[in-house]
C-alpha cells in the first residue's frame, strides 16, 4: 500500500509554499517540511470516528466502525476506486452510554472484495444528511512475500496535546523511514480512561492519518476496559468503538470471583486471530489473568484453561511460516511482574511454537529472548548508541543479538509508548532482559514479515520534552532480524 498519502501531503504542502515566494525565502527545507507537517496534522478531522479493522481474511474483507450523532440507520457505501459502481451495506447499531452521553456506534464487515485492489468508501446515515468524506483502502495481496506494519504501543492520552504529539511522532517516523505499511497494531491502552468520550474522539481524530486507510489490530489494555465487577463489562466502550474479529473463545460462567459480572462471550473481539501475509497472529486479552491488583486477587483458572485450549487449537490449524502473539501485559517487562502470565501462558506459547510476542503496558522499551524461563545469552551485537545491551562475551556459540534463529526461543518485544507516558526506569520488575531503553522518548517499531524472516526497525523520536510537538530528530534505536 502506498505510504498513507504522507508524501503526497508533503508535496502538496511544499507546492503551496513554493507559490508564495516571500513565505519561503528565508526558510530551510526542514522548516518547510515542518510547516507542511503542521498543516497536515492541524487539518486532521474524523467527526464520525471512522476506522478500519482487521478481519480473519484481509485479502477479501475489511472491518469498519463509525459513529453518528443521532440514532438512525447507518450505512457504508463503497466501490472499486474509479469504477463509480457503489454498493451499500447496512451497519449494525451499537448503543453505548458514556457518562450521561448516549453514543451511537456502528460496525460492519465488507466481504467478497478482490485481493490487492483499491476501494473508496464513506459512511452515511439513513437520509444522507450525515456523511463522511470518501476514504481509500487497499485489500492485501494474497502473496506472502513481504508486508510491513506499524507497532504503536500505549497512546493512553488524556488531552489533545498528548494525541497531537503522538500524531507528530508517527508522521515523523513514516517520513524518516520511507516505509510502506499496510497494518497498524496497538497492544492496548489506546485511551487513559475508557469512560471519557473525549479521549476516544481524540484517539480517532489523530489516528485518522492511518486508521481510515489501513486496518487496525488492537489488544485490550487495562485502561480500555471496565472492571470485571462493572455492569458495563459486557458492553464496553472498547467493543463499541472497535470492530475486531469475533472468532475467539467462549467461556463458561464466571463465578470463581465474587462480583464477577462477565458473560461467556465478553471476550469476543478482544481475543482473536487473523492471517497476515506469512504470519498467523493471535491477539490475547491478558485482562483475563490476575496480576494481584486491588481489583483482582486471583484468577478464574477454569476459564483461563478454556482460553489456553482455544490458543492451542487456533495455532494447530495454522499453516503460516510465523506465529506471532500480541497482548497488553507481557511476561518479561521492565515495570510490572506479570507472574501469572509468565507462569500460565508462556508454556502454552512455547508449546505452540510462537516466534514473537509483542507487548505494551510497561512504558519502558525492552527486548528479551527466553526459553523455559531462561534468558538466552548473546556474545555479539551491533553497536548501540542508546539504551543498554547485555552481552555475555564467553557464551557459546557466539550468537549475534541482531540476527538470530527463532529456534533459540521466543522474542519478547515491549515498546514503551508511541505518545508521552514514560516510566524512565523509575519503576522496576527486576526481570532480566537482553536490551533496555529507558529514556523519555517515544519508540515506534516498523515490523516487516517475509517467508524467511521477521525484520524489526525500532525508531526513536528525540524531543526536548515528552509533550514537545516538534521532534528534534528521528533515529533507528535498534534493528534486528529473526530467521527460521
Q: Is the pLDDT of residue 312 over 50?
A: yes
pLDDT tens digits, 128-150? 999 999 999 999 998 888 999 99
Give residue 10's pLDDT: 38
Q: What is the mean pLDDT of residues 261-276?
A: 96
Q: Is the pLDDT of residue 163 over 90?
A: yes
**Percentage of the chain lying above the pLDDT 90 cut:** 83
**Percentage of the chain lying above the pLDDT 70 cut:** 92
Q: Residue 298 and residue 218: Cα distance in Å, rounded? A: 25
Q: What is the mean pLDDT of residues 7-25?
A: 36
CA 336 to chain centre: 20
Q: What is the mean pLDDT of residues 171-177?
A: 96
Name the band, by pLDDT with cuts 50, 70 and 90, for residue 26.
low
Spatial neighbors of 476 by CB under 8 A, at least 6 apart, are 457, 458, 459, 460
Q: Is the pLDDT of residue 9 over 80?
A: no
Spatial neighbors of 55 by CB under 8 A, at least 6 apart, are 61, 62, 63, 109, 215, 245, 274
Q: Residue 468 and residue 219: Cα distance in Å, rounded? A: 27
Name the band, by pLDDT with cuts 50, 70 and 90, for residue 405.
very high
Q: Is the pLDDT of residue 18 over 60?
A: no
Could you tell me the three cell numbers for 220?
A: 485490550
Side-chain-facing half-sphere of 178: CA atoms under 13 Å:
0
Q: Residue 9 and residue 180: Cα distance in Å, rounded? A: 15
Q: Residue 394 and residue 391: Cα distance in Å, rounded? A: 9
| R_g of the chain, CA atoms, integer Å | 22
Q: Residue 218 and residue 304: Cα distance in Å, rounded? A: 20
Q: Is the pLDDT of residue 13 over 80?
A: no
Name the band, by pLDDT with cuts 50, 70 and 90, for residue 111.
very high
Side-chain-facing half-sphere of 412: CA atoms under 13 Å:
32
Cell 530528530 appears where?
A: 473
Secondary structure percentages of the chain, helix, strand, coil, to 5: 20, 30, 45
Q: Is the pLDDT of residue 220 over 50?
A: yes
Name the band, by pLDDT with cuts 50, 70 and 90, for residue 67.
very high
Residue 200 Cα distances to 132, 157, 191, angstroms: 18, 10, 6
Q: Is the pLDDT of residue 258 over 60?
A: yes
Q: Is the pLDDT of residue 374 over 90?
A: yes
How much is the pTM?
0.93
Give residue 329's pLDDT: 96
Q: What is the mean pLDDT of residues 317-331?
A: 97
Give residue 322's pLDDT: 98
Q: Is the pLDDT of residue 291 over 80?
A: no
Give residue 17's pLDDT: 27
Amino acid at each position: 500500500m502506498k505510504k498513507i498519502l504522507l508524501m503526497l501531503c508533503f508535496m502538496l504542502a511544499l507546492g503551496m509554499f513554493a507559490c508564495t515566494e516571500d513565505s519561503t525565502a528565508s526558510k530551510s527545507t526542514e522548516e518547510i517540511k515542518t510547516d507542511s507537517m503542521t498543516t497536515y496534522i492541524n487539518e486532521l478531522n474524523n467527526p464520525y470516528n471512522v476506522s478500519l479493522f482487521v478481519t480473519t481474511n484481509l485479502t477479501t474483507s475489511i472491518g469498519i466502525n463509525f459513529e453518528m450523532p443521532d440514532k438512525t440507520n447507518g450505512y457504508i457505501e463503497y466501490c472499486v476506486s474509479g469504477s463509480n459502481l457503489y454498493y451499500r451495506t447496512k451497519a449494525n447499531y451499537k448503543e453505548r452510554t458514556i457518562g450521561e452521553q448516549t453514543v451511537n456506534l456502528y460496525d460492519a464487515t465488507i466481504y467478497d472484495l478482490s485481493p490487492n485492489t483499491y476501494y473508496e468508501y464513506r459512511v452515511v446515515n439513513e437520509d444522507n444528511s450525515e456523511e463522511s468524506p470518501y476514504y481509500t483502502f487497499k485489500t492485501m495481496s494474497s502473496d506472502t512475500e513481504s508486508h510491513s506494519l506499524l507497532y504503536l504501543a500505549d497512546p493512553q492520552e488524556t488531552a489533545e496535546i498528548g494525541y497531537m504529539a503522538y500524531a507528530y511522532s508517527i508522521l515523523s517516523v513514516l517520513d524518516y523511514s520511507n516505509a510502506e505499511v499496510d497494518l497498524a497494531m496497538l497492544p492496548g491502552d489506546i485511551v487513559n480512561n475508557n469512560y471519557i468520550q473525549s479521549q476516544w474522539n481524540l484517539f480517532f481524530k489523530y489516528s485518522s492519518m492511518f486508521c481510515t486507510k489501513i486496518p487496525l489490530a488492537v489488544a485490550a489494555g487495562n485502561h480500555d476496559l471496565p472492571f470485571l465487577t462493572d455492569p458495563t463489562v459486557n458492553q464496553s466502550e472498547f467493543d463499541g468503538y472497535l470492530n475486531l474479529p469475533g472468532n475467539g473463545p467462549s467461556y463458561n460462567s464466571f463465578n470463581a470471583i465474587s462480583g464477577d459480572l462477565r458473560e461467556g462471550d465478553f471476550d469476543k473481539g478482544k481475543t482473536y486471530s487473523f492471517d497476515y501475509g506469512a504470519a498467523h497472529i493471535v491477539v490475547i486479552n491478558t485482562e483475563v489473568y490476575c496480576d494481584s491488583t486491588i481489583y483482582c486477587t486471583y484468577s478464574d483458572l477454569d476459564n483461563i484453561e478454556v482460553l489456553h485450549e482455544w490458543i492451542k487449537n487456533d495455532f494447530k490449524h495454522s499453516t503460516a511460516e510465523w506465529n506471532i502473539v500480541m497482548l497488553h501485559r507481557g511476561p518479561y517487562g521492565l515495570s510490572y511482574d506479570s507472574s501469572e502470565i509468565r507462569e500460565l501462558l508462556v508454556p502454552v506459547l512455547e508449546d505452540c511454537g510462537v516466534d514473537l510476542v509483542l507487548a505494551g503496558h510497561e512504558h519502558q522499551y525492552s527486548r528479551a529472548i527466553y526459553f523455559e524461563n531462561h534468558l538466552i545469552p548473546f556474545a555479539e551485537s551491533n553497536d548501540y548508541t542508546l539504551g543498554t545491551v547485555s552481552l555475555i562475551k564467553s557464551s557459546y556459540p557466539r550468537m549475534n543479538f541482531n540476527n538470530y534463529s527463532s529456534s533459540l526461543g521466543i522474542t519478547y518485544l515491549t515498546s514503551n509508548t508511541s505518545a508521552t507516558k514514560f516510566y524512565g526506569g523509575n519503576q522496576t520488575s527486576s526481570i532480566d532482559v537482553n536490551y533496555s531503553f529507558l529514556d523519555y522518548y517515544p519508540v515506534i517499531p516498523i515490523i516487516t514479515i517475509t517467508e524467511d524472516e521477521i525484520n524489526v526497525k525500532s525508531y526513536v523520536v528525540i524531543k526536548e520534552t515528552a509533550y514537545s510537538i516538534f521532534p528534534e530528530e528521528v533515529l533507528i534505536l535498534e534493528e534486528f532480524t529473526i530467521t527460521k
